[in-house]
Amino acid sequence: MMDVPEAVPALVDSQPLLGRLESALEFARTSGADAAQATIAVTQGTSVGVRLGELESVEYDRAQSLSVTVYFGHREGSASTSDLGREALRETVEAACAIARYTAEDPHGGLPRRDDLAENVPDLDLDHPWLESTDKLLEVALCCEQAARDAGPMIRNSDGASVNSHRSLRCYANSLGFAQAYGSSRHGIGCAVIAGASDEMQRGHWGSSARRPSELEDAGSVGHRAAQRAIEQLGARTISTRTTPVVFPADLAYSLWASVAAALSGSAQYRKTSFLQDCLGQSVASRQLRLYEQPFLPAALGSAPFDDEGVSPRERDLLADGEVRGYVLNSYSARRLGMRTTGNAGGVRNLTLEPGADSFAELLGRMDTGFLVTGLMGRGVNPLTGDYSRGARGFWVEGGEIAFPVHEVTLAGNLRILLKQIVAIGNDPIVRGNYRSPSVLVEAMTLGGKSG
């Protein structure tokens, strides 16, 4: 990918937008609101899609919106608009105030504590425009798909390749005096193709995303990887139901930590809908596991200088030595639980599983015989019980070596048990959005296949 110059133009000047937020807050004050907060989001992006060597779609979008929330005591009202004119701001605030006057009181609502607001807003180097024309993005997409189609005669068809480049600016202010803005970017390349042999067809996909265009995987490499993933599955077999060790590779293991983060969210805790209910300080996982947030990593996809309420995120452990060390809280859920916000309005930030010592090949060797999962289908996780059941495909491994591809199986277990049965962690972390995870070896899961 092409490097971006050090000096790049801002998507839009944030100062006039912060001024509009201040106007909205003043309208709220003069309307009698005890407190208020407002956000302006501006987004812009281009997406290009190709299929079978031809342009299939070009999409350009630019949008702006303002949302305002007002509080009359413990009554809350919210409204939004895409019109940032002064009269539209006034009407939006009036609508929010009218809603608040009719809502029931909620003693847990309101702004965060003043001393929780971010005092210093670091520059995390999040905004890296991809200064290329639509024609150049089209060229990258065509290169990606062509690399996949050139991978071998077994590539029979294509679901296409896509390239996207997006930027955004987020401005937030509240009546406690906080008013800040930051810009960010996100770019991606993806490809999916179909391999065939006789009457069998298998689909393979791969993608790459980053804030910096220079950190995207090479377009040709993305296409080749997608093709190889399809070709490797040709000749896949079904196998009988069994209990077996399982390796989750790094590009799939992150989904386990997304389920853990959801179970540790404040909303799941106060609603009592979590398989990790009331587990603070309890041992719920293998002692090898350390799961922690890194919200201030420069140019990382999950980084942010402040959360959706203006609160500073924290570098902290969610799991350490297998014990739950913290929940994922915004101000509302924290008050519901009698706790303090953890700066997670908007979710976790760069949730990371600490890598272990084993290479991927060593993980397979430690497993010896078992299942390497390469694809998962369906949601398949019960957030209340932790029951896990997802369609899967992958490879059967014997003697630490891949023996043959497997498809049409179901991978099942329970996350409370699975977390304690992680016996090895790889040294091969990759990034998937807000998550950074290496591969993991689970001691035993149920692999549901054909009967008999």
Q: How confident is the model at residue 8 (pLDDT cuts 50, 70, 90)?
A: low
User: What burial letters (b/e) apply to 41-79, b meaning 16+ CB within 10 Å?
Assistant: bbbbbbbbbbbeeeeeeeeeeeebebbbbbbbeebbbbb
pLDDT tops 80 at residue 1: no
> For residue 168, what pLDDT is reported?
97
Q: What is the DSSP letter of 420?
A: H
How far is residue 425's CA from residue 61's CA, in Å, rounded to a whole number? 41
pLDDT at 378: 86
Q: What is the pLDDT of residue 341?
A: 98
Query: What's the rounded mean pLDDT across residues 366-374?
Result: 98
Tell me what the mean pLDDT of segment 155-177 comes to.
97
Domain ranges of the chain: 14-232, 236-452
pLDDT at 131: 83
- Whether pTM > 0.85 for this model: the answer is yes
pLDDT per residue as tens digits for the range 292-333: 999 999 999 999 999 999 999 999 999 999 999 999 999 999
Strand partners, 446: 243, 412
**Separation of alpha carbons 71 and 110, rounded Å:** 7
Q: How many CB atoms lie within 10 A of CB 337?
A: 16
pLDDT in tens, 92-136: 999 999 999 999 999 999 999 999 999 999 999 999 999 889 999
Name the average pLDDT for the chain. Answer: 95
User: CB of 100 within 8 A of CB of 33?
Assistant: yes
At residue 257, does pLDDT exceed 70?
yes
Whether the CB-CB separation of 173 and 191 falls below 8 Å is answered with: no
Mean pLDDT of 37-51: 97
Identify the pLDDT of residue 322: 94
- Asked if 397 and 369 touch (Cβ cutoff 8 Å), the reply is yes
pLDDT, average across residues 247-267: 97
Asked if residue 351 has pLDDT above 90, the reply is yes
pLDDT digits (tens, 9 = 90+) for 402-417: 999 999 999 999 999 9
Q: Is the model's pLDDT at 291 over the cut of 50? A: yes
Per-residue pLDDT, 117: 97
User: Hey, what are 258's tokens?
Assistant: 């997304």
Distances (CA, A) of 436 to 85, 165, 192, 291: 41, 22, 23, 10
**Mean pLDDT of the region 46-72:** 97
pLDDT of residue 450: 78
Under the banding of pLDDT at 50, 70 and 90, the label for residue 379 is confident
Tell me the residue type at 83.
D
Q: Is 17 left (phi over 0), alpha (psi -120 to 50) or beta?
A: alpha
Class of domain 14-232: alpha beta
Phi, psi of 33 (to 5 degrees): -70, 140
What whole-number distance in Å separates Cα of residue 256 and Cα of residue 318?
Answer: 14
DSSP 137: H
Please compute, for residue 120, the number of CA atoms within 13 A of its CA located in the half-sphere on the CB side: 5
What pLDDT score does 7 carry? 52
Lowest mean per-residue pLDDT among 3-17, 55-69, 231-245, 382-396: 3-17
Query: Stretch 26-34: mean pLDDT, rounded?
Result: 97
- Confidence check: pLDDT of 83 > 90: yes
Confidence at 4, pLDDT banded by 50, 70, 90: very low
- 288 to 33, 255, 301, 350: CA distances (angstroms): 50, 18, 26, 19
| Edge-to-edge strands, sheet with 316-320 | 323-324, 316-320, 291-293, 351-353, 435-437, 430-432
- Nearest Cα residue to 361 out of 247, 273, 258: 247
Q: What is the arithmetic mean of pLDDT over 158-168?
A: 97
The H or E element that residue 222 is part of is: helix 219-232
pLDDT at 2 over 90: no
Contact present, 426 and 250 (Cβ < 8 Å): yes
Whether the pLDDT of residue 140 is over 50: the answer is: yes
Residues 6+ apart with CB under 8 A from 338: none
Quote the pLDDT of residue 6.
Answer: 47
